[in-house]
Amino acid sequence: MATKNKTMNISTEVSGILAKLTLKEKIALTYGANFWQTIPMEKVGIPTVMMSDGPHGLRKQNTAGEGADMLGVQPSQPATCFPTGVCIGNSWDVEVASSVGEAIAREANAQEVDVFLGPGINIKRNPLCGRNFEYYSEDPYLTGKLAAAYIAAAEAQGSGTSLKHFAANSQEHRRFVSDSVIDERALREIYLRGFEIAVKEGKPSTVMCAYNKINGTYCSDNQWLLNDVLRKEWGFEGMVVTDWGALNDRIKAYQAGCDLSMPGGGAYMATAALAAVGKGTLKESDIDACAARIIKLALKGKIRPPQAAAVDYDAQHELARTFAERCAVLLQNNDSLLPLNESTSLALIGSMATKPRYQGAGSSLINPTRLSSLSDAMPGVPACKGYHEDGSTGDDLINEAVQLAGKAEVAVICAGLPAALESEGYDRCDMKLPEGHNRLIEAVAKANPNTVVILYAGSAVETPWAEKVKAILYMGLPGQAGGKAAHNLLYGKANPSGRLAETWPLRYEDCPSAATFGQRDTLYMESIFVGYRYYTSAQVAVRWGFGHGLSYTSFKYTDLVIDGLNIDITIQNTGAVPGAEVVQLYLQAPSGKAFRPLHELKGFQKVHLQPGESRRVHFTLSAKDFAIWENGWVVMNGSYTLIVCGGLDSGNVLTTVYEMKDEQPEPQGELEGNWYYCLKGKPDQASFEHLMGKPYQASQSTKGQYSFSNSLEEMRKDSRVMAMMYNGVKQHLTKALGSDNAVQDSPAFKMILAATVESPVRNLVVSGGIDEDLIGGLIDIANRHPLQGLSKILQSKRKPNR
Ligand code: BGC
């Protein structure tokens, strides 16, 4: 009752405030004030909303000027760097996800941040996406459940979250302009489903719309995405904020229900929006709705615990360690080499043991309060570097490692992806580890049969040496306490209980999206066959499957009972040490008219058990769990196999059958004969066009039709003025940051370059504060309308305060 009254009070207050604002003020409110804050309007009682990046820690920066950026290049306040998204995904543990959300909210409250920008839950469509380390999984159900737990826990602390990047934003290449071309079934079942669960169950204060287009329409302009699906279908009542610089067309964005454009500093198309209301082409009520949602969020900020308790950063660090332990995946453990004995003599090899790889670059880069390395946790253990920071190695380094490994009972190698290979802003070029790491592992494994590899990477990598080493422990990018966590796992002080949240293919070419990933316009030709949905259905062998992970103990599955849609099973720890098992529930649909993957995850639970202990685990399914999307959710009748297991490739797999009857209407399929039915080879364009119901037409940016949505990079080829600007920006950057190879290969250089020359020129207005008429004039000149262009440029020069 109290909550209902509070909600009613806020709505009345919002309407009261809105009535006092002029149209111009309401428009102003829909742009940020600076890099991180919304505009306060004190005279009517609207406070500012302060935002800072997440998702695995707080990146609180200065609000404007030199200290603010969206690429993680400028410093931020120290904060706890928790395990990154890849680890949360691998935890398969809603308790971990919710504790991370809660722990970040504690720091947000103490640092007076109203909304932190996370979680990021885009689907890991392809291992090469540069931001996979921030995301959870290739599976929407696992993603959605973890995100919902994180969001609900953070919001319960009075902190706002921003669920991002909505939607279908699964690559970094040309991220500001790319078009994700996807059939509606794949959108609904794969790319939107995680968001749907997170919105409905987690109730985030805000959702961040992505940079990219979906089927030709920018997310910020997308009525179907924001109004129809997010708000009307899913009941989202919060605010939609653009990703930083993702606003495409302010008028369309109002109509779509895209409320706030960030970062602030410019007011792109504000004049046009005002004029559109005058002309009757934009309804004032659309602007009111956006402004109202911003006011509502600003008022909600008032309910943050006023004197937020001081944060105990030592305790937060310890939490980060326990989370990292609960997220690690033991991929392989031949002859039970792990856990190690305290008395075993070791060689610690690889510079990641001393300089840990623990987070990725970009907007999520945290300035950690402290940092634990594996070598700090193992003082006195003989160690050597093995490779250089860029991943290369040399005979001297290899020889040193081989010598050291030869003298020890067990060789422990820390290997993975160097920081420059994994970042926001660009994708990886291949799925390989650096040549130097592979060479080192091969050489050490030859010298010592008892070799353990500890892997640090935000997504799957090829492991051609897997059969030559005994144990492989995958830490993901485990956050600031990852060193101590790896130590505890090696020695069995913690028992690994993570499971892979994405498939590790044998080689990149095996990925269903290998041929189409990373184009400017990306055809999601594989449709719903993403990750394990493809590999198990097409029977393509993988290195380690989705849901795979080992433990230092063993589990037994018995007494599977099904009663209607209720499923119960007993799990027992049959080993000698405490451990946690991830019980997974998959659905296998009967064959019917519509194509369907062989396995679909519909439930999971992490169960902690003492040696000998057993527990009854319960799942409840709903009709929607059986449904596919065919112009709505529809359920196919027939016998469904329900698989309860500790991973599809584990020794523990029990099955039962559920008879689905009398659900109407049945899906029609209608596509028999194309790739989706046979899964032979790779998806082809003809099958995809059949699925889309129309031929694909590439969106070409052509000479004469350039707009604010085109980038300098695109226009320079046939416009001298744009080519000059492009070269100017590059030269300026090189001068500011440095011209040597190390700088030009650094994530910062690549990201800044992409954010300027590859992003639509409107961003020079939205985030760069450059006058709209000046850029408009240059576009006119590029379109061969020099007089019109010059007149706009002069107009811009005549404006006051420039
Ligand atoms: C990223 C977002 C981030 C925002 C603010 C953008 O470049 O895509 O994830 O929250 O910047 O830093």
Atom of ligand 1 nearest to the CA of 117: 10
Q: Return d(Cα 132, Cα 649) in angstroms, integer.
A: 24
What is the phi/psi pair of residue 572, to 5°? -125, 140
Atom of ligand 1 nearest to the CA of 118: 10
3-state secondary structure of 362: coil
Q: In this structure, which residue's CA is closest to atom 5 in ligand 1?
A: 70
At residue 11, the pLDDT reads 84
CA of 244 to the centre of ligand 1 (A): 6
Q: Return d(Cα 452, Cα 474) in angstroms, integer.
A: 11
Residue pLDDT, tens place only, 682-731:
999 999 999 999 999 887 667 788 988 888 988 988 888 889 888 888 88
Q: In this structure, which residue's CA is closest to atom 3 in ligand 1?
A: 363
Q: In this structure, which residue's CA is closest to atom 11 in ligand 1?
A: 70
CA of 659 to the centre of ligand 1 (A): 46
Helix (H) or strand (E) holding 207: strand 206-209
User: What does the radius of gyration of the chain's CA atoms come to, in whole angstroms?
Assistant: 27
Atom of ligand 1 nearest to the CA of 210: 8
CA of 362 to the centre of ligand 1 (A): 8
CB-CB neighbours of 534 under 10 Å: 25
CA of 289 to the centre of ligand 1 (A): 25
CA of 243 to the centre of ligand 1 (A): 6
> Is the preceding peptide bond at 665 cis, omega within 30 degrees of 0?
yes
Q: Return d(Cα 672, Cα 385) in angstroms, integer.
A: 56
CA of 212 to the centre of ligand 1 (A): 13
296: number of CA atoms within 13 Å, CB side?
Answer: 22
Atom of ligand 1 nearest to the CA of 425: 7
Q: Is the CB of 243 under 6 A from ligand 1?
A: yes
At residue 796, the pLDDT reads 86
Question: Burial code of 86-124, b = ≥16 C-beta within 10 A, e = fewer?
Answer: bbbbbbbbbebbbbbbbbbbbbbbbbebbbbbbbbbbbb
Token pair recorded at residue 761: 């020129």
- Helix axis angle for 313-327 and 482-490, nearest 10°, is 50
Q: Is the CB of 259 under 6 A from ligand 1?
A: no
Q: Return d(Cα 169, Cα 801) in angstroms, integer.
A: 38
3-state secondary structure of 494: coil
At residue 1, the pLDDT reads 43
CA of 550 to the centre of ligand 1 (A): 35
Residue pLDDT, tens place only, 265-304:
889 999 999 999 999 999 999 999 999 999 999 998 655 6
Q: Is the CB of 244 under 6 A from ligand 1?
A: yes
Q: Return d(Cα 195, Cα 147) in angstroms, integer.
A: 8
Q: Is-contact 767 244, C-beta < 8 A?
A: yes
CA of 326 to the centre of ligand 1 (A): 27
Residues of the chain with pLDDT under 70: 1-8, 64-67, 301-308, 663, 665-667, 669-672, 700-701, 800-802
C-alpha 653: how far from chain center:
30
Burial class (CB in 10 A: 0-12, 13-18, 19+), 615: middle
Q: Which of 58, 76, 115, 117 to mutate to test the pocket of ligand 1 (most atoms within 8 A of CB)?
A: 117
Q: Is the CB of 117 under 6 A from ligand 1?
A: yes
Q: In this structure, which residue's CA is closest to atom 8 in ligand 1?
A: 243
Q: Is the CB of 763 under 6 A from ligand 1?
A: no
Strand partners, 163: 207
- Helix axis angle for 747-757 and 720-737, nearest 10°, is 160
C-alpha 12: how far from chain center:
36
Q: Is the CB of 70 under 6 A from ligand 1?
A: yes
- Helix axis angle for 313-327 and 94-110, nearest 10°, is 160
Q: Is-contact 419 355, C-beta < 8 A?
A: no
Q: Is-contact 556 646, C-beta < 8 A?
A: no
CA of 229 to the centre of ligand 1 (A): 23
Helix (H) or strand (E) holding 325: helix 313-327
CA of 353 to the centre of ligand 1 (A): 30
Dihedral-angle region of residue 673 (phi above 0 means left; psi in -120 to 50 means alpha; beta otherwise): left
At residue 800, the pLDDT reads 64
Atom of ligand 1 nearest to the CA of 211: 8
Q: Is the CB of 792 under 6 A from ligand 1?
A: no
Q: Is the CB of 166 under 6 A from ligand 1?
A: no
Q: Which of 115, 175, 244 to mutate to test the pocket of ligand 1 (most atoms within 8 A of CB)?
A: 244
Q: Return d(Cα 693, Cα 644) in angstroms, integer.
A: 37
Q: Is the CB of 369 under 6 A from ligand 1?
A: no
CB-CB neighbours of 508 under 10 Å: 18
Atom of ligand 1 nearest to the CA of 164: 9
Q: Return d(Cα 800, Cα 284) in angstroms, integer.
A: 28
Q: Is the CB of 291 under 6 A from ligand 1?
A: no
Q: 763 CB contacts (<8 Å, ≥6 apart)?
A: 176, 245, 755
The residue assigned the tokens 């892997």 is 455
Q: 790 CB contacts (<8 Å, ≥6 apart)?
A: 777, 781
Token pair recorded at residue 707: 């707009």
Q: Is the CB of 363 under 6 A from ligand 1?
A: yes
Q: In this structure, which residue's CA is closest to atom 9 in ligand 1?
A: 363
Active site residues: 243
Q: Which of 50, 53, 752 to mutate to test the pocket of ligand 1 (most atoms within 8 A of CB)?
A: 53
Token pair recorded at residue 671: 């596509």
At residue 745, the pLDDT reads 77
CA of 192 to the centre of ligand 1 (A): 20
CA of 70 to the centre of ligand 1 (A): 5
Q: Is-contact 216 252, C-beta < 8 A?
A: no
Token pair recorded at residue 730: 């590059």
Taken in order 55, 226, 204, 586, is the CA torsion positive or negative? negative
Q: Return d(Cα 21, Cα 41) in angstroms, integer.
A: 10
Q: Return d(Cα 271, Cα 284) in angstroms, integer.
A: 14
Helix (H) or strand (E) holding 628: strand 627-629
Q: Is the CB of 53 under 6 A from ligand 1?
A: yes
Question: Which residue in 132, 137, 170, 164 sits closest to 151, CA to CA?
Answer: 164
- E strand spans, 92-145: 115-117
Q: In this structure, which residue's CA is closest to atom 7 in ligand 1?
A: 70
118: number of CA atoms within 13 Å, CB side?
Answer: 34
Q: 631 CB contacts (<8 Å, ≥6 apart)?
A: none
C-alpha 562: how far from chain center:
35
CA of 655 to the centre of ligand 1 (A): 43
Atom of ligand 1 nearest to the CA of 120: 9
Q: Is-contact 402 430, C-beta < 8 A?
A: no
Atom of ligand 1 nearest to the CA of 165: 9
Q: In this structure, which residue's CA is closest to atom 12 in ligand 1?
A: 70
At residue 670, the pLDDT reads 61
Q: Which of 50, 363, 365, 424 to mutate to test the pocket of ligand 1 (most atoms within 8 A of CB)?
A: 363
Q: Is the CB of 164 under 6 A from ligand 1?
A: yes
